[in-house]
Every structure is written in C-alpha cells, then in structure tokens.
Structure 1
Amino acid sequence: MTMDGPRLKQPRFNTKKKLVIYIALAATYLIVVMVAGLVMDPEMYGVHYEDSFLAPSLAHPFGTDIMGRDMFWRSVKGLSNSILIGLAASAVSSVIALVFGAVSAVSGGKVDRVIMWCVDCCMGIPHLVLLLLISYMMGRGGFGVAFAVAVTHWPELTRLVRAEVLQVRGSQYVKASLRMGHSWFQVAREHIVPHVLPVYLVGLVLLFPHAIMHEAALTFLGFGFSASTPAIGGILSEAMSHIITGKWWLCLFPGLMLLIAVMLFDVIGEKLKMLLNPGSGNQ
C-alpha cells in the first residue's frame, strides 16, 4: 500500500512538472522577444541597400531582404509588436467574456437572451471577415487590429463562463448559503469565483495564440500595421513576391518564430486544463 501511493500521484506530479517547464519556456521566449523589441535600436533593422538579399550567415542569421534589412532583428521586432497586441487584446477580450458570462448567468431572463443573441451573432459571422470589417472601420493600423481582435474573441469564453456560473448557482450549497443569510457578494466570493477562475484562466491562455495569429493574418492582408512598422504578417506578405526567386529565408524564419510562440501557449493552455481538471483528458 505504501508503494502504491507515490505511483498514483506520479502522473499528476509529472503533469505539474511539465506545466512548469512549458510556462518557463513560453515566459522566457515571450519576455526576451518583448524586451528585445522594445529596447531595440531601429538601426539594427534599418535599410542597407548594399546588403540586399544576403542568404543566412553568421552576420545575418535570418538573411536580409530586398532593402538589405536584417531579417533576424526585423522578425524579433515584428513578433514583439504581435505579442504586445496579443496580450492587450486577449486580456480585454477575456474580461468582456467574464463580465458577460457572469451577468448572463446571474441575471437570466431578457438579459441572458440578449447576451446569448450577441454571442450567436458574433459566432455566426466568419471570424476573419468580422475582423477585417472592424479593423477597417477603426482605421486599420495597430489600434484597428488590437480593437478588432479584442472585441471578437469573447463569445466562446462567455459561453464557458456562463455554463460554469449556472452550474454553481444551481448547486445545493449555494442555495443553502443564501438561505443562511449570506449576500450574493459573499456567495460569489466564496463559491462562484473559485469555481469559475480555473475555466477563466485556461480560456485566457488559449485566447493568446488566437490573438497573435489573427493579428498576423490582418497585417498579412494589409489591414494591420503599415509597411514602415515591422510585423510578422507584413514580413510574410512581403516575402510572398520573392519566394519563387529562391529567397526562402524571407518567410521561413519569421514563420517559425510565430509558430513557436503560438504552439508554446497552446500547449500551456492544454496542460493547464489537464492540471485543473484531471478528468478532461489523459495525463
């Protein structure tokens, strides 16, 4: 019996250890790229026509583009901008989802129907089309992209939060707490918030890679940052016209940097979900 106990706890311990590793990797990658992009001297990815279309080398690990700009530093700056947009947009969108989901579940009636109608409307329109329309209405650019991503990623998380709040609200211990004279604020603080918080945190983490990818997609299509501002979507868009001429490095390395960032946070969300809800999947 004494030997079975540690064995039973081992899978959950491994999951915690993996989660810490993934969080450390993602946080390191995120912080390094963000800080490097914020403090970077623009001259590092400036124009040098004499270095046009240099292949990857020790001097230029990611090569250079048609204007001789160093693709490594330009990609770091572009991903830094994408990460900042992703962080801001996912944070705002998650707060909208938390408020709407909680209000919908607690209020019920017409308020619940109106919020669910808004959710259905947003989810019924193709996401990319909705992003393009909102970004265009807000004047494109960095603000237009951030606004579009922030106000279009809340519907699914709203449904999850609403379902969790409804489940707790209808439980016997919440009803008993209300009958004992506790206020709704006390019930929310002691019962509803601890129950909803894990779902909210997982949803927040999983919003982040979607926000980055959609920001890159909008910029790639010309609705995001201007050509003068480095952005992964813009870099990939510019590279499209040079791929057929053999300039493979223009899209390979920026795309890999974006893919790594997205995959790291996607894995964190999945591992966090398994850790907080062991019955949701295999560990």
Structure 2
Amino acid sequence: MKGFNRRQTALALLFFALALLCAVTAAGVALADQAMVTDFSRKNLAPCGQFLFGTDWMGRDMLSRTLTGLSLSIRIGLLTAAVSAVIALLLGAGSALLGGWADSVISWVIDLVMGIPHILLVMLISLAFGKGFTGVVAGVALSHWTSLARVVRGEVLQLKGAPYILTAQKLGLSRMAVLQRHMLPHLLPQFLTGLVLLFPHAILHEASVTFLGFGLPPEQPAIGVILSESMSYLTTGKWWLAVFPGLALVGVVLLFALLGDQLRRLLDPASVHE
C-alpha cells in the first residue's frame, strides 16, 4: 500500500481479516433458523439471483447453510485453539522450569502425540468422548497443542539463562513469580501468534472428522455435514452443493492464516523500524 509502511499495512490487513471473520460469524448466527427451513417446491435449484448458492434436495438455502456452518466452525476453532494454546503454555513452561523427570515425561508425551497422525488422533478422542460437539472439541483441543508447547519450552529454556532471570532467582523469587513477572511478557508474542495459527488447523480437522462421520451430528448445519451429504449428488450435476461450501471453508482458513501472519509481523520487534 502506497504511503504505508509494512507495519501499518500489516495492521490494516489484520483489522480487515478480523472484521470479515466477525461478519461471517454474526451472519451465521443470525441465519441459523433460516438454514433449517425446507421447501420441496424449490429443491435442487442452481445458483440464481434469489438463491446465490442454490438450494439442496430439501429446498434449503445453501447460502444460509454455508454461513451457518462457517460460523459454527469459527466458534469451534476459537474454543479449541484457546484450549490447545493454554495446554501448550502450561506444559511447555512447566517442562522447562521443572526439568528432571517432569521434563522427560512431558517431552515423551509431546513426542507420542506428534507421532500419531492428527486426523486419526482426533477421530479416536472424539469417539472416546461420544462424538458430537463435545467429542469434536475434545479431539481437536487435545491433539493440537504439541508444536506450540515445544516452542514455549524452547523459549523458557533460553530465558532461564538470561541475566535478569538469574538475578531474580538469587533475590529469592519463586519459580512461579519469575514465570509471571519476567517470562510471560516475553512469551506473549509467541503465544498469541501460535494461538491464531492453531485456528486453521482446528477448523480443517473439525470439518474433516465431521465429514467422515466422527464429529458433529448430521442434523447440524456444519460444513463437514454439508460436504458429506453433497457427495451423493455430485454425479447428478449438483456441483454447487459442494463447491461453494468448500470454497468458503478454504477462504476462512486462508483468512486465519493471513491473520496469524500479520499478527506475527506486528509482534516482531524488528517490524517497528519497517
């Protein structure tokens, strides 16, 4: 953008992505009831002026269903990413600060979780929690914290040797006090960036396990449900049932990726001079 430095451009893109995601979420909540309305007199209509995304085999408006599904995915993504990030912060910092057997156990758990394919682990945890909303949230939240935990652990290990940390410890501050006063402010940029970058993974895995039948129930207008149901109609030429919801999901994932990238630039100290 002409007349803007890179930091100002990043801030503008950040607000744009946030505003668009908030608008999609609000629209999905507002259209939740309309997405469930059936009318067999208008079933299987191709995209037109009245129905921009067409209608399905029950005459339901695909635009309303798509926005409702995206809104649900965004809310699940926010919840699961927040839980995953908090788990990563606690275990990563605890591993580095406690050391010894605690560090070995936590590192072993991280390696174990990372050694299992994400989608398989999400499915297994979702089944263990009875599928549905609770199962999806538990599955995604308990399988996506490992990478951020490793980053936090590495940062804390570096901070432990910093002069001001050693001085604080010699002055008698407890490990918890050192963590709260001196380490958390330093960890905040990495934590926020990792939190935002967890959203795309959470949304995609929620849609994936729901598509495979291990997530949200079929009566829920979720993107995974919409895509799963549309598979039976693609061979009959009803392409809009899958194309528009799929593109919308990809668009939301790209928006979250853009959000994380711009947030990383804003929190990078070197960007102040750009």
TM-score, normalization: structure 1? 0.90
Aligned equivalent of 1:205, options 167, 188, 196: 196
C-alpha change, 1:239 and 1:44, in structure 2 (3 Å) is: closer
Alpha-carbon offset, residue 41 of structure 1? 5.1
Structure 1 Cα separation of the partners of residues 35 and 220 of structure 2: 14
Give structure 1 stretches of 5+ with no counterpart. 1-9
Aligned to 1:4: none
Structure 2 Cα separation of the partners of residues 235 and 115 of structure 1: 39
C-alpha change, 1:190 and 1:41, in structure 2 (3 Å) is: closer
Aligned equivalent of 2:153, options 153, 156, 162: 162
Give structure 2 stretches of 5+ with no counterpart. none
Identity value in percent = 48
The within-5 A match list for 1:91-106 is: 91-106=82-97
Mapped pair 1:122 → 2:113: yes
Indicate conservation of the 8 Å contact 1:49/1:66, yes or no.
Answer: yes
SS at match of 2:79: helix
SS at match of 1:153: coil
Moved more, 24-33 or 180-189: 180-189
Structure 2 Cα separation of the partners of residues 264 and 98 of structure 1: 24
Aligned equivalent of 2:215, options 216, 224, 242: 224
Indicate conservation of the 8 Å contact 2:32/2:68, yes or no.
Answer: no
Aligned to 2:25: 34
Q: Partner letter of residue 235 of structure 1?
A: I
SS at match of 2:51: coil
The within-5 A match list for 1:266-281 is: 266-277=257-268
Mapped pair 1:47 → 2:22: no
Aligned length: 271
Structure 2 Cα separation of the partners of residues 234 and 41 of structure 1: 15
Mapped pair 1:73 → 2:84: no
Alpha-carbon offset, residue 210 of structure 1? 0.7
Structure 1 Cα separation of the partners of residues 236 and 71 of structure 2: 28
Structure 2 Cα separation of the partners of residues 140 and 177 of structure 1: 47
Deviations 1:51-103 (A, max 9, x none): 11101111100000111110000111111111111111111110000000111
C-alpha change, 1:44 and 1:216, in structure 2 (3 Å) is: closer
Aligned alpha-carbon RMSD (Å): 2.0
Q: Partner letter of residue 58 of structure 1?
A: G
Indicate conservation of the 8 Å contact 2:34/2:64, yes or no.
Answer: no
Aligned to 1:23: 14
Indicate conservation of the 8 Å contact 2:11/2:266, yes or no.
Answer: no
Moved more, 267-276 or 149-158: 267-276
Structure 2 Cα separation of the partners of residues 22 and 240 of structure 1: 35
Alpha-carbon offset, residue 181 of structure 1? 3.9
Alpha-carbon offset, residue 268 of structure 1? 1.8
Aligned to 2:227: 236
Indicate conservation of the 8 Å contact 2:152/2:187, yes or no.
Answer: yes
Runs of 4+ displaced beyond 3 Å:
180-186, 277-280
Alpha-carbon offset, residue 132 of structure 1? 0.8
Mapped pair 1:251 → 2:232: no
TM-score, normalization: structure 2? 0.92
Q: Partner letter of residue 127 of structure 1?
A: H
Alpha-carbon offset, residue 111 of structure 1? 0.4
